[in-house]
Amino acid sequence: MSRNFSKVGAVQSRQARLTVHDRTEKPTITHRPLYTTVIRGDLIVLDCLAVGYPPPTYSWYKDGGRLSPAHDRFSIALNGSLMIENAQLDDAAHYRCSASNYLGKASSSARVLVWKVDFLG
């Protein structure tokens, strides 16, 4: 326990542990996105996990253009994975993940194919 006193009173708190990392490391991708084939309407998940310190931030690109985080069907998970809901034919493309921190960046890419399947019944 720790007690701190001031003119306005005392504060008592539990002991805390502070860990200081004395290492820095540029990002390295450990789980790369894979060539993926889905049927229209499916969920597309492209993994991209990177290590580094400070922890990297992730960006995704579709055919060279950066994907907006405001897109209604695309989302980037905290672990870097890209999720595309309700796959459409125009989602078929070349996707690239970029993991970066102030020391550098790493990237990896994969192609996605979306098949149109019509059921006759």
What's this model's pTM, rounded to 2 decimal places? 0.78
Q: Where does the pLDDT of residue 48 fall: very low under 50, low under 70, confident under 90, or very high at 90 and above?
A: very high
- Tell me, rounded to whole angstroms, the distance of Cα 21 from its chain centroid: 23
Domain ranges of the chain: 21-115
pLDDT in tens, 59-91: 999 999 999 877 889 999 999 999 999 999 999
**pLDDT of 42 over the 70 cut:** yes
**pLDDT of 10 over the 80 cut:** no
Which of 42, 52, 35, 43 has the alpha carbon at shortest distance from 98? Answer: 52
- Calpha distance 24→102 (Å, rounded): 10
DSSP, collapsed to helix, strand or coil, labels residue 50 as strand
- So what CATH class is 21-115? mainly beta
